[in-house]
Structure formats: structure tokens, C-alpha cells
Structure 1
Amino acid sequence: MNQRILDVLEYNKIIDQLIDQTASSLGKEKALALKPSTQLSEVVRWQNETDEAAQVLRLKGHIPLGGIFDIKPSIKRTMIGGILSSLECLDIASTIYGGKQLKRFIEDMEEPELLILRELIHDVLPLQELERKIKSRIDDHGAVMDGASEKLRTIRSRIRTSESRVRDRLDSFTKSKSKMLSDSIVTIRNDRYVLPVKQEYRGSIGGIVHDQSASGATLFIEPQSVVEVNNQLQQARVEEKHEVERILAELSQEIAEEQSALYQNVEILSHVDFMFARAKLGSQMKAAMPTMNEEGRVNLRQARHPFIDPKDVVPNDVKIGEDFTSIVITGPNTGGKTVILKLLGLFTLMAQSGLQVPAMDGCELAVFEQVYADIGDEQSIEQSLSTFSSHMTNIVDILKHVNERTLVLFDELGAGTDPQEGAALAMSILDEVVSRDARVIATTHYPELKAYGYNRTGVTNASVEFDIDTLKPTYRLLIGIPGRSNAFEISRKLGLEEKIIDTAKQHVGADSQSVENMIASLESSTREAEKDYEEAELKRQEAEQLHRDLQDKWQQFEEKREKLYQKAEDKAQKAVEKAREEAEKIVNEIRNMKNQAEIKEHEWIEARKKLDEAQPNLSSKKSAPQKSQVKTKQKELEPGDEVKLLTLNQQGIILEKTSSQEYQVQVGVMKVKAKTKDLEFIKSKQPYKEKPIATVKGKSHHVKTELDLRGERYEEALSLLEKYVDDAVLAGYPTVSIIHGKGTGALRTAVQNYAKNHRSIANYRFGGMNEGGSGVTVLELK
């Protein structure tokens, strides 16, 4: 981009604000060198970097970039054999540590979409060994520590001993000869310990004079008795200096060996600092990430100029490049036309520099090869150029380079000359630029250009709004409506007589008056449309809020219903478990009753009743229709008919009719008297047998004389065997056959072990030749 354009659009002020957001001199250096890019891929990458950094700031509020220094000059010196100072070495260690902290911070974040930062940080090398060596030899204040080497520790021990001896001897002078001293203290001159002796006692003290006071009344004398010790101290200090230099040279050499990794780390850290400086600036401006294109489309909503106080700035919508490629803005002075030009130009430069722009989310900007601007009064006395000549010189230069990837900003096009000629030139220049498919925004005062947009394809009019009531501009941009002169209305508001205004209107041509009336009508229609839009937008927001509220309520309802279902299931589960325990208890009672010599009929009925009562009474959402009982009136029951005894939920055989409404029924091994209403007919009369086959616990099939366990799992087989033996006992079978197959013999052993311990099994044996042999166990029941 042309430097003059950057200056005109005040791009340097944005750079100054960006520099303030950097955390290190590395980031500052990057910010100072920033220039807009004209490559879409590069601009998109920069914008993605800024957006990713902004995401981290939103999630974490900060990023650790402290302790990072520009160590590149120090690294370069080590490569040519230079020796770094202890502070330079400490800066290198601090930068290594800062890189590790930053890397750990990014790696610990759970957000997977931080692709750019993770890729950058991945290449930061920890260099822990170099950091350890530096920090083990140099303290936090930049001093080489005693433990940096054994020799340095010994030398510094000697220094402390010599200093103590010198001070002790000099302290004795301050006590014994205090009258000869200007002050009873020990001081230092030329790195040697001395005493402040009065001039008249010079001969009494004796020794070497190193200095005197400004008045000459005091001499700083090193007594002869401490000269030797001071010499030893000076020698130790020289040795200390040489050892420190050796240690720093050794560290410098080790730093030089890691110069490649250090350069890589510095470059990454400076890039990350620069990324977050852009993100911080965007956050400060309440900016948004623009979508970039190469088709010249610009769509800004609620755009705010970054240099106007947020309390005073008026947001504006700016759109160009889709329905039209050029905008001609008319309106009064100080109405904000120039601000619109600079806003669009500055936003373009910011976006092409990877910076976010202060506008609403969803904004769109184009990548232009060049941005040209002819803004402001550039009259030059030295060049003897008038305002018109200065503008025309710029315009001539602009027309040499305009193409379809150019943004052109004209402020007061054609101004500074005869109005008719200026208007004609303005229209001609606009025609030329529009014909090259450039994106153009021009401001003008000329009334001839108000109708320009209606007569040209791809061109539209715009204006800045003016409030007649307050006689002040509102600074709102109205696209599609040309500005109109408000001279008559303003004059009326200011008190000019109506007859003068009427006379003035007669001097205005009919065409001009017609245009003014058309503009007024457009403004009125636009205001009504905006009002309707605002009302519709409000209704839409209310509808969205209602929709969200309903969704929340529905979600709460679903969660509550799910909890109720879960609670009901838990309750049902407990009821079933309780019923199962009751059933087990009843079965055990029945088994105990079977062991007795005879089962009394009322005991059996009582046990059956308990089993029925143990069933859980669970409610369901939809009750199943109950079966209608078959009335025995429909058929006269006869001995031998198979019926269902409803009170016991068991099948049986009619034995005889004991009265008009009562029958004796054979149910398994029991004989029960039942009322006609408690019996349900099943099927017709069957030949009577002494021991009819009993139904098993409400099932519709009869108990067989054999049980096939082949293919069953061990636990399931035992469960089936236990139930079958109980059913066979109730059916009164003398013997039954258990088919278990030969196989490994595990199932056969389990069956026979079960038979040994069952109280209702008298004996067991293998099947005979015609009964299945060892694959069958025959049980003899009691």
C-alpha cells in the first residue's frame, strides 16, 4: 500500500494502539513492521490467528507472556565468540522459562479447535538443561553465585576474610584516634578501605593518601598497617573477576550451541505475542472478525470509527459491491461524509492486516490490491498548487492505476472550481472509474450529482441525515437516498420571513424543486420502513425469546417426567422383589406341608391366597380391558368338564354337583367345593380319571413325565430341575426321567447330587437300555 494513503487514513494510529497491547519488545517489533497484505490466503490466515487468540482470551481472560525478552542480539554475539553479561544470560533463561509456561498453558486447554496455536507451540523447545545451568550459576538479581564453581567459592571466601581483617584494623583506628578523624567511619576510595583523616593529623596516621575532600580539610588515608591486607584483597578481587568471566564465557559457549533452537523459540514467542496483541486490540474496540473475499463485496453493520469516542460515535451500515459498485454521498458540511470514507478505507486496511474491525458479527470486507483516497485540502504553497489543482493531481495519479481490485475514495469530487464545470468533471471521472469495475465512494455538494445514481448502472445515491427540528446532523448514512438542500427549512426555523422564502422558491427551477420533493418523499418512506423494520425486529426477538422459553419449559417437563418414570420403576422393582420374597416363603411353606402326612384343604387354600396377595399391584398408564367372566348360566356344568377355579386361578375337573349353586372340583391332589360364580368353563366333559393331570401354577400346558436338560447352562439346568420336580410332585407322578446326556458328565453329577438331598425324591437310578442308559437319570418320587 502507498505510504501516503496509510497516512491519510491514519493507519499509524491503529499501529500505535496495537503496540500498546504487546507484552514484549518482540511483539512490538512485529507490530511496527505490520503492513496490509493483498493476498487473500494470507489475510484469512491472519484473521484466523487473531480469532483463535481472541477465543483464548474469552475463555481464560489472559495468557502467560511475561518474562520474554528479545535475546536475538545476545545470541548473535555468542556466535562470533562474544561473552554475555550475567543479566543477558538471565534474560535467555527467563525467555526459555516463558516459552515453557506458554506451551504448558496452551497444551492444558481442552478446546480442540485451537489448531494454529497448538501447531505453533508444538515447535517450542524446552531447553531445560541450558535453563538449569544458567539459573544454577546466576541468581535472580543477575549476580554470579558462589556455587557457580568451586574456585569462585574459595576466592570469595578469601575476599570476605580479607575484608573482615581490614575492617577490624581500621575500626581500631576509629576508636583509638577518633580525634584525628573527620568522622569515625571506614570508607572506600579507589576500591581500597581508607580513613577520613583531618589535614593537620596527616603525619600522625601515616600511610597512603588516596583522595581528599573538596575543601582539602580531610584526607582519605590508607594506614600503612592495612596496605598489605588491602593488597591481598585487591588480588582476590582480580581473581574473582577472572573466574566470573570464565564462567560467563562457558555459559555463552553453551548458549551459542543452542542458537538455532533459541532463534526458533524467539520467533514463535514473538508471533504469539503479536497474535494476542491483535486480539486484545479487537477486544478493546469490541470488534468482530470479518469474512474476507476477493470479489469486492463489503457489508458492514453498525460499523463504528475507532478514533471517535464510543459515547459519541454513531454506528452506520455500509454496503457495496453486490447490487452496486459505487456510492455517491451528498449532504451538508460537518454531516459525517468524510468520516464514512475514512471508516471504509481504514476498515479495509485493518482487515487486510489481520485486525478485527469494530462492527457487528457477520461483517464482510474485500481484499483490495490498492486503496486510493483523495481526502482533505492538500493545497501546497511551495508547489504553487490551488485546492483544485492539488485534488486533480491526485486524481490523475489514481486514474493511472485503477482496476477491478481497487477501492477509490473521493472526498468533495470536483470541488474548488466553477460549479457547473466541477460537476461535469465529477460525473466524467466517476464514469471512468465505474467503467473499470472499481469500488468507489465519492462525496459531493453538487446538486447535479443527486440524480447521478438513477441514471447509471451499478451506482447508487446516499446521504447523511440532517435533523430539521434540531438543525443538527445525525451522522446516519442513508443508502439509496440522495441528500437534499435544507436551506429553506433551516431559514424558516431561524426566523426568516415566509414571503422571502416563497420568493426564493420561485427562483428555483421546476426540475430542482421536483428532485427535492422526490428526495423528501424517499426520506419519509425510508423512515416509515425503518420504523416498521424495528417493530418487526422487536416482534421477532420476542417470538425467539418465547420459543426459547417454551423449549426450556418442555425440557424441564421431559426431565420431570423422566424422574417420575424412574421413581415409579424403582417402586415397582421394590414391589416385585418383595413379592418374590413372599412367593419364596410360600413355596417353602408348601414344601413343608408336603412333608406332612396329609395336606389339609384349608391350608392349601390359605397358601394359595397368600401367593395371590404377594403379587405387586402396579398401576399402568393405560389399563388393559379385563376379561369378562364366562357365566356358568350359559352352560350347565357336568361331571368331567374342565373348568377354571377363579379364586385359586387354577384349572380343575368337575367331580359332582353338590347343590344348585355349588360343585366339587378336583384341583391337582385337592378336592375343593366352589360356587358356580367362581367357576369358568374351559372345555367339555372328559373321561374321569382317579388322578387327573394337574396344571402347573396357572400355565396352560400339562407336566410331562420327562425333562430334557441337554444344551442348557449349568445354573439354568438346576433351576429348571428344581421347578420340574416340584411340579411333578404336585402332579402325583411316581417316577420321572431327567435327560441330561452323556457329555462330560458334569450335568449328570449335578442332577444326581440334587436327587440325593431332595426330601421328595425317594431314590434315583440310571435309565435302562430302552430308557436312554447313562444319558438319563430316573427319579422315584415319594
Structure 2
Amino acid sequence: MIQQETLELLEWNRLCQHLATFAATKLGAVAARNLEIPTTKAESLQLLAQTKEVYQLEQDLETGWSFDGIADIGESLERAKLGGMLSGQELLDIATTLAGVRRLRRVIDNREDIPVLTELVAEIRTYPEIEQEIHRCIDDAGKVADRASPKLASIRVRLKEVRDSIYQKLQSILQRQGGAVQEPVITQRGDRFVIPVKAPQKDQIPGIIQDTSSTGATLYIEPNAIVNLGNQLRQYRRQEQAEEEAILRSLTERVAAVESDLEYLLAVATILDLATARARYSLWLEGNAPRFIDFAGGEPITLRQLRHPLLVWQHQHEQGTDVVPINVQIDPKIRVVAITGPNTGGKTVTLKTIGLSALMAKVGLFIPAREPVELPWFEQVLADIGDEQSIEQNLSTFSGHIRRIIRILDTLKAEFSSSSVQKDPDDNRQAQEWDSEAVGKIQRTNNQSLILLDEVGAGTDPAEGSALAIALLKYLADNALLTIATTHYGELKALKYQDSRFENASVEFDDRTLSPTYRLLWGIPGRSNALAIAQRLGLGQEIVEEARKRVGGYSEEINQTIAGLEAQRREQELKAKEASQLLQQTERFYTEISEKAASLQEKERELKQYQEREVQKAIAQAKAEIAKVIRQLQQGSPTAQNAQKATEAIGQIAENRLPKLEKRSSSYVPKVGERIRLPNLGQTAEVLHLADEEVTVRFGLMKMTVPLTEIESLDGKKVEIPAKPKAVFTPSPQPATPKPPVTVRTSQNTVDLRGSRVAEAESELERAISKATESGVLWIIHGKGTGRLREGIHEFLQHHPQVERFELAPQNEGGSGVTIAYLI
């Protein structure tokens, strides 16, 4: 079949061998080496989805997932189904396989983003009860264990007793008759215990001769003293064997009863291993998942930086040369691509690379190319690559090619008639007529095949060969989705300008080194390099000039035009490379700047947090000192002199806690929404409200009202206002006896702070104290919890100037979950 020939020509079996090395089980390796090509697009999509999910799973798991314990139990299941008895090792392999598949299913069930694998393992049954029974009856060496049955254990106890008795008697004989034995050892012949006796002294140890040495000098005698014990041992061994067989048969019957489920489980394990092999091979190739496009419907083929997978393997494992990637980007209106260029330039490798990529996508493998990887799902990949000469069949190179092409056309269900072979190669029908006719035929045949032809029309007269090649390619343009052909015929280069369904490509050739670069150039046909190479290699100038005359000026002009196009292409590629480097440099600078900006923002955030903590600490200390001054004032008689001293003390505290900075003269006036600085606190803040001589600002989570004189602009400008005489604070006389606190709870003297943070609770508590001043008592509900909120509230109350004292509420009023504060 041509399909199988194509696989051989593309070296598909080598790729499958490489894939098999990534399988974890024998089953997976066998499946990889015999990889089948799907016949439907739905099947390919299913395989590709499996590969993607395993690929993602392997990336997410720390150690990947394991197929340990999973064995090839197919033959064992078949024998159990036919009524045969399985050995202990075969049963143990079944148990470890059940456990291994159960582990895989557990990994899959723990994920929610792998629906295809989840559906695959949903119906499998791992029969833990059979696994446990096998492990109970079979030890790790695959032998039937004593615990398998009481009868077996009893038989083995008696076996041991008899064996020990035999050893004791034989040891006694060896000690008594040491001169008669060849060497003092106990050995066996068959299932009978014997000792080696010298032939002349055989009468000293009467017994049954079980064997004789090759020289006849040694007789292996079973002494009469142990014959009966040997008979008992043989009997017990038979009983042991019968009991072991009964246990193995019982286990085999349990396996046979669920044979169909275990066959399905084995198939799922093979599918998972094969998907894992595809994912790991794809990762090793640095491949990307392909997307199947509608090429006939207008989507282009895109395979950038495509590498030949077998050459990648050769480079990595066999120290081959570096792999030169190619770019394959084909417009959807193109049906035939003609690749021209020198021999050994990489044309055939290009064909094989594209063909292998199409097959890899069909079997669910990633393609070694840059994203996006977009190509059609080709129903068939058919190739004519290489030489098919045969002396036995009297086939020339040309005949071999034609026979293979005929098989390709037969597979396409198209008739390769003599009229199409003899079609005039100079047929100059209009391109639009070709387009409409080709589109109609493609739609009617709906053929989704990829045809790869190497040196189409070669091996015969150039004129007839080129005519045949043109007719064949036009036929394939009508009847195949895409054809890629390599050729040396210059006439094929002109098809692009006659029919818009044709495209030219060439393999690049370096004139300076006289060697190919293996790069694929699109839109530019290859030019003849024979004369240039001959001249560079030293062929006579007169011969080269005569050859140029015979080639004709028109051909030379074409070569010069192509050379100009190649030079322009190289220039554009150089500019594109420079632009790419500039873009990479720009991206690198952007990344560095972004990282530095993020670092500065983090430092600013940390600095703000530190400043807020320091401000809160300073405020708390100032409140504590002010409260101390107030308590000292309350303890003495309320006189103006004491009030004056208290005012001076508070001023001193403000001076110590909030030191003044040097003022700068300016006529600066802040505006609402403007950012300003608070020099005393070392903070920047936002202006919320302006009064006559005060301003309300916000920094962080805090709001506060400060005098205009204590703010400045971000550039250091201060607000100057006329100084006013300082008012003397005179406290009102306090009653001699404090008023009794009101102990009745109301909504006015109760605040619920449960669930609040300490910082939030303090602001709420401040408002509650101001509202509850007249009642003289405040009930604070903070709950029990961890106690941190209660501790923070108590610390706040302890330093508050309006709180005389506080205590926990009685047990019937909330106990440790409620605090009662008595206010001044």
C-alpha cells in the first residue's frame, strides 16, 4: 500500500522507536513502536487532548506520575479466561497492576482541569478486594504464603519437622562414619536426601543408592535410617503442592470472573502510558500543540522555526550537526508549492519534515515549531521520495517514480489518463479560469490529502519530464488539498505566474562558500548555480562563457533577477533581525524598569507602615503623659495656678513629641485635594477641608485636623498667618465628690466592637466615649475570642484622659466579654 510506503519513506518507524523510549511500561513501548495513524479528525483531537492534559499534569506535579507496578498481564488474563491456572508471580503482577492503575486514577480524580483523562478512567474498576486477597495469599517473591490457608500452614509445619529429623539423623551418620564419606555434606538427588559415600566403603552406610558420580568413585546413598522419613517428606510435599494449586486456582477463578473488566483496565493503562510518552517526547522536542485549521476555508498554514524531529534526535544523541529550522507559511489559496534549489540543499529534508509534522499532529504529538502551530488535518499523507530502481523488475528511476505516482493517484480515486500526461505544458489559460475550476473540483472531491513529490518528472528527457511534471501538478492542484514538489526544472518556476494556486520556494545557496545554507525561502524560485560553481572551482573561463552563450541571455537575466530578489530578501531579513533585537532590548529595559518601580512602591509602602506605627506610638505616649497631667490636676485643688501649670506641661509634651521644623516664609495657601507635608510627623497627606486657621488632612487610614502653620507644600513652602495671643486654659472647678455612675445599660452608653480590629475599635471607642460622657459610664462589648481585642481596648482606656477607671462586667452581664468604663 502507498500509505505504508509513505511511512517508510518518511522514516516514521524511527520516530516511533524514539517515542517508545519515553514509555514507562512494556505495554506503552509496544504501542508506541506500533503507533497507528488515526482515520478521523475526531480521534486525532481526542489524542491531542490527552497529550495536552498529561503535559499539563506532568508540569504541575512535583515528581510526575508513576506507572510503577503496572505489568503486561494480557497473556495471564487470556489463560485465566480459558481455564488455565496462573502462577503466583502472574497473580502478583495482576495485583500490582490494579494498585498502579488505582494510583493513576486517584491523581486524575484530584484534578478538575483534565476532563478527557477523567472521562477515560471513569469506568475502570480496580477491584481492591482481589488485590488484597492476592497479597494475602502470595508473598513478595511470588510464592504461596503460609497465611493463605490453615491447612497449608499445618502441612508446612509437619514438613519442617520431618526435614529437621532427616538432617539430625544424617548429621549423626556423618559424624559416626566420617571416614566412609567422600565429603561431610548433605545433598539431594531428586526429592531424596543423600550423603556422598566412597564406593569401597558403601557397606559401612547401608541404604539406597540414588546416584553415582561420573567416575564411579562416589555413591550418593540415602541411608536406611531416613528412608521412611523421606517417604513422609514426599507425601507432605505432595499435599503441600495440592494445597498450593487449590489456592492458586481459587485466585485464578476470581480473576477470570472479572477478566473483561481487567482487559479494559489494561487498555486504559496502555492509553495513559502512550499519552504520557507523547507528552514527554513533545516536551523533549520543545514542541508546541498544533491546531487543526480549515485550509480550504481560508486559514493559512503556519509552521515557524520547524525542525525535523529525527535530526533533532540525531543532534542530541548521536552528536550530529545543528538542525537548521525552516519556516512554512502557505496561503490558503495555494494548492501546489514547487521547491527548487541545488542538490544536497535540503529540499528532500523539507518534504520529510512537513510530512512528519502532519503525521505527528494526527497521532496527538506536539510539533517542534514555534507557536502558533497551525496546519490542516490531512486525511492522507502520500509521498514519492527517493529512488525506486529495480534490476529484477527492470525498473529505471523514471519508471519507479511513475509506478509510485500511479499508486498515489489510485489512492486519490482519480484517473491518471494519457490525455492528462500529454497535456500541452504551454497551456496559457487565464489564472482566474484555473482558480474557479480548481475551487469547484476541490469542493466536489473534498479531498484532504497532502502529496509530497521529490524530483517530480526526473529520470527522463528534460523536455518531456518537465511537461509531465507540469501536467501532474496541475492535476493534483485540482484533486488534492496541498501538493509540495521538489524539482530542477525551470519551467515549473513559471507556473506561479500562470496560476495563482501555485507558489515558488527555494533552498538558499551561499555563493561565497559554494554551499547550501538549508534555509527555505518563500516566493523566490531557486536559480541555477551550475556555471558559477564550475567557474569558482576552476573550470576554464572560455568553457564557462561558451556555456553561458548556449544557455541564452534570457536565462541569465532570470538568474540575475532572482539573485537581486535574494539580495533584497537578505537585506530585509537583516533589518528584521535588527528590529527584533531592538524590540528584545526594549522589552528587557521595560522589565527592569517595572521591577524597579515595583521595588520602590514596596519600599514606600513599608515606609508608610513604619511611619504610621511611629505616629500611633507617639500619640499613645503623648496621651499617657497628658492623662498623667490631668490626674495630677484632679488630685489637687482646682486653682488657676494649677491649670496654668497643666497647660504648660501639655505644651512641653507637644514640644517634645512633635518637634517644630524651621519655617520658610511664603504666601503659600493649600487647596482641597492637594498633597501636602506634615513636617512634625514626617508624613505626606491629602487636604480634605480648609477652615480659617485649620486644615483637615488624611494620611494612610488616619484623619486629623491640624493648624495651617503645621503644614507645608511638597516643595517646602509654609503658610504664614498673623500670630494671636495664646489663650490660657482654665479648667472648670471639679465637684468635690464624683457623681455616681449610671449602671443602667442603654443604646447611648453601649458600643459593640466585636469583629473589629484594634485600630478600628479605637476610633469607634473615641466616638462612643464622647457620646457617653454625660452618663458617666460606657459598656464596651468586645467578646472573648483570643483576647487580643480586649487587651487593645484596655490599653487604650488606660491612657485615655476621660476614663477614670474600667473593669470587666459581672458574670451575668457578659463577664470577660464586656468591659465597663467609668468616665470623668
The TM-score, its normalising length taken from structure 2, stands at 0.74
When residues 718 and 172 of structure 1 are mapped into structure 2, their CA distance, relative to the original with a 3 A threshold, is closer
Partner of 1:92: 94
Q: For 1:88, give the aligned amino acid.
A: E
Partner of 2:283: 283
Secondary structure of 1:477's counterpart equals strand
Superposed CA deviations along residues 189-241 of structure 1, whole A, max 9, x for unmatched, are 12101122333334443322222222333322222221111101111111111
Equivalent residues of 1:64, 1:105 under 8 A apart:
no
- 1:349 deviation in Å? 0.8
When residues 503 and 33 of structure 1 are mapped into structure 2, their CA distance, relative to the original with a 3 A threshold, is closer
Does 2:246 correspond to 1:243?
no
When residues 277 and 465 of structure 1 are mapped into structure 2, their CA distance, relative to the original with a 3 A threshold, is same
Superposed CA deviations along residues 96-127 of structure 1, whole A, max 9, x for unmatched, are 2222333444556xx75334344445555453
Does 2:89 correspond to 1:66?
no
What does residue range 84-163 of structure 1 map to in structure 2 within 5 Å? 84-106=86-108, 112-121=112-121, 123=123, 125=125, 127-163=127-163
Equivalent residues of 1:369, 1:405 under 8 A apart:
yes
Equivalent residues of 1:40, 1:294 under 8 A apart:
no
**Which range is displaced more, 349-358 or 603-612?**
603-612
Partner of 1:30: 31
| CA distance in 2 between partners of 1:225 and 1:620 (Å) | 108
Q: For 2:644, give the aligned amino acid.
A: I
When residues 724 and 579 of structure 1 are mapped into structure 2, their CA distance, relative to the original with a 3 A threshold, is farther
What does residue range 550-565 of structure 1 map to in structure 2 within 5 Å? 550-565=593-608
Partner of 2:510: 467
Secondary structure of 2:167's counterpart equals helix
Equivalent residues of 2:749, 2:771 under 8 A apart:
no
Partner of 2:405: 395
- 1:627 deviation in Å? 7.3
Superposed CA deviations along residues 696-738 of structure 1, whole A, max 9, x for unmatched, are 9xxxxxxxxxxxx975252589835763479xxxxxxxxxxxx
What does residue range 626-641 of structure 1 map to in structure 2 within 5 Å? none
| CA distance in 1 between partners of 2:559 and 2:234 (Å) | 96
When residues 694 and 369 of structure 1 are mapped into structure 2, their CA distance, relative to the original with a 3 A threshold, is same
| CA distance in 2 between partners of 1:445 and 1:169 (Å) | 94
Secondary structure of 1:380's counterpart equals coil
Equivalent residues of 1:197, 1:219 under 8 A apart:
yes
Does 2:784 correspond to 1:723?
no
| CA distance in 1 between partners of 2:685 and 2:363 (Å) | 68
| CA distance in 2 between partners of 1:89 and 1:507 (Å) | 82
- 1:33 deviation in Å? 4.2
Equivalent residues of 1:330, 1:443 under 8 A apart:
yes
- 1:47 deviation in Å? 1.6
| CA distance in 1 between partners of 2:726 and 2:733 (Å) | 16
When residues 270 and 695 of structure 1 are mapped into structure 2, their CA distance, relative to the original with a 3 A threshold, is farther
Secondary structure of 1:163's counterpart equals helix
Secondary structure of 2:503's counterpart equals strand
Does 2:304 correspond to 1:301?
yes
Q: For 2:468, give the aligned amino acid.
A: L
When residues 628 and 87 of structure 1 are mapped into structure 2, their CA distance, relative to the original with a 3 A threshold, is closer
Equivalent residues of 2:748, 2:771 under 8 A apart:
no
| CA distance in 1 between partners of 2:775 and 2:116 (Å) | 74
Equivalent residues of 1:96, 1:131 under 8 A apart:
yes
1:602 to 626, 638, 641: 641
| CA distance in 2 between partners of 1:487 and 1:61 (Å) | 57
What does residue range 395-434 of structure 1 map to in structure 2 within 5 Å? 395-402=405-412, 404-434=447-477
Equivalent residues of 1:38, 1:368 under 8 A apart:
no
| CA distance in 2 between partners of 1:289 and 1:75 (Å) | 37
Does 2:218 correspond to 1:175?
no
- 1:679 deviation in Å? 7.0
**Which range is displaced more, 402-411 or 328-337?**
402-411
When residues 384 and 260 of structure 1 are mapped into structure 2, their CA distance, relative to the original with a 3 A threshold, is closer
- 1:426 deviation in Å? 0.9
Partner of 1:340: 350
Q: Calculate the aligned-residue CA RMSD, in Å.
A: 3.3
Partner of 1:666: none
**Which range is displaced more, 227-236 or 283-292?**
283-292
1:318 to 328, 352, 358: 328
Superposed CA deviations along residues 532-579 of structure 1, whole A, max 9, x for unmatched, are 111111111111111111111111111111111111111122222223
Partner of 1:750: none
Q: For 2:182, give the aligned amino acid.
A: S
| CA distance in 2 between partners of 1:87 and 1:259 (Å) | 17
| CA distance in 1 between partners of 2:225 and 2:726 (Å) | 136
Partner of 1:483: 526
- 1:411 deviation in Å? 0.7
Equivalent residues of 1:289, 1:363 under 8 A apart:
yes
Does 2:51 correspond to 1:41?
no
Secondary structure of 1:178's counterpart equals coil
- 1:312 deviation in Å? 3.0
Partner of 2:667: none
Secondary structure of 2:371's counterpart equals coil
The alignment-based identity, stated in percent, is: 37
**Which range is displaced more, 420-429 or 287-296?**
287-296
Partner of 1:714: 750
The TM-score, its normalising length taken from structure 1, stands at 0.78
Partner of 1:21: 22
What does residue range 184-199 of structure 1 map to in structure 2 within 5 Å? 184-199=184-199
| CA distance in 2 between partners of 1:340 and 1:26 (Å) | 33
2:483 to 435, 440, 446: 440
Q: For 1:330, give the aligned amino acid.
A: T
- 1:457 deviation in Å? 0.4
Does 2:588 correspond to 1:545?
yes
Secondary structure of 1:151's counterpart equals helix
Partner of 1:621: 684
| CA distance in 2 between partners of 1:137 and 1:153 (Å) | 12
Equivalent residues of 1:481, 1:519 under 8 A apart:
yes
Equivalent residues of 1:38, 1:367 under 8 A apart:
no
- 1:40 deviation in Å? 2.5
Partner of 1:668: none
| CA distance in 2 between partners of 1:443 and 1:287 (Å) | 26
When residues 486 and 362 of structure 1 are mapped into structure 2, their CA distance, relative to the original with a 3 A threshold, is same
- 1:266 deviation in Å? 2.3
| CA distance in 2 between partners of 1:340 and 1:332 (Å) | 13
Superposed CA deviations along residues 663-715 of structure 1, whole A, max 9, x for unmatched, are xxxxxxxxxxxx995179xxxxxxxxxxx99999xxxxxxxxxxxx9752525
Secondary structure of 1:407's counterpart equals strand
| CA distance in 2 between partners of 1:585 and 1:49 (Å) | 75
What does residue range 249-264 of structure 1 map to in structure 2 within 5 Å? 249-259=249-259, 261-264=261-264
Structure ID, larger Rg = 1
- 1:432 deviation in Å? 1.5
Equivalent residues of 1:410, 1:443 under 8 A apart:
yes
| CA distance in 1 between partners of 2:540 and 2:129 (Å) | 90
- 1:587 deviation in Å? 3.7
Partner of 1:570: 613
| CA distance in 1 between partners of 2:132 and 2:693 (Å) | 94
| CA distance in 1 between partners of 2:73 and 2:256 (Å) | 12
When residues 581 and 107 of structure 1 are mapped into structure 2, their CA distance, relative to the original with a 3 A threshold, is farther
| CA distance in 2 between partners of 1:395 and 1:180 (Å) | 87
Runs of at least 5 residues in structure 1 that lack an aligned partner in the other structure: 631-645, 647-674, 681-691, 697-708, 727-756, 760-781
Q: For 1:368, give the aligned amino acid.
A: F
| CA distance in 2 between partners of 1:725 and 1:266 (Å) | 82
Q: For 1:224, give the aligned amino acid.
A: N
Equivalent residues of 1:289, 1:357 under 8 A apart:
yes
Equivalent residues of 2:51, 2:364 under 8 A apart:
yes
| CA distance in 2 between partners of 1:505 and 1:231 (Å) | 104
Superposed CA deviations along residues 581-610 of structure 1, whole A, max 9, x for unmatched, are 2343344344334xx3xx322221232344
1:584 to 606, 615, 627: 627
Partner of 2:392: 382
Runs of at least 5 residues in structure 2 that lack an aligned partner in the other structure: 316-320, 413-444, 659-679, 695-706, 708-721, 735-744, 752-764, 777-802, 806-823
Equivalent residues of 2:295, 2:375 under 8 A apart:
no
Partner of 2:666: none
Q: For 1:547, give the aligned amino acid.
A: Y
| CA distance in 2 between partners of 1:14 and 1:437 (Å) | 26
Equivalent residues of 1:89, 1:134 under 8 A apart:
yes
